Amino acid sequence: MAGHGNVHEMPPLMGAEDFSYMLESHPGAFIFCGDSAGLHHPAYNFNDEAIVYGTSYFIKIVENAMAA
């Protein structure tokens, strides 16, 4: 959806998210969209151009689940 040149693996990251508890029981991924301050930082600026990629990602998840 984003193209191989736009997908990068990141080294492990220490954060303060409870998402890791969900990943212990369900497969998943944490997705970063662009370079900005952290999500809860006052300088955070959501990249509106990423919306099309995010919605496409979730649509593909639903399509795959419905096909199974």
Tens-digit pLDDT profile for residues 30-61: 777 777 888 788 999 888 888 888 899 889 98
Query: What is the C-alpha to C-alpha distance for residues 4 and 36, in angstroms, rounded to an integer?
Result: 21
5: in domain: no
Query: What is the C-alpha to C-alpha distance for residues 6 and 10, in angstroms, rounded to an integer?
Result: 12
DSSP assignment string, the chain: ---GGG-----------THHHHHTTS-------SS-S-TTSTT----GGGHHHHHHHHHHHHHHHHH-
40: in domain: yes
58: in domain: yes
Domain count, the chain: 1
- 0.85 cut: is pTM over it? no
Q: Hey, what amino acid is at 43?
A: A
9: in domain: no
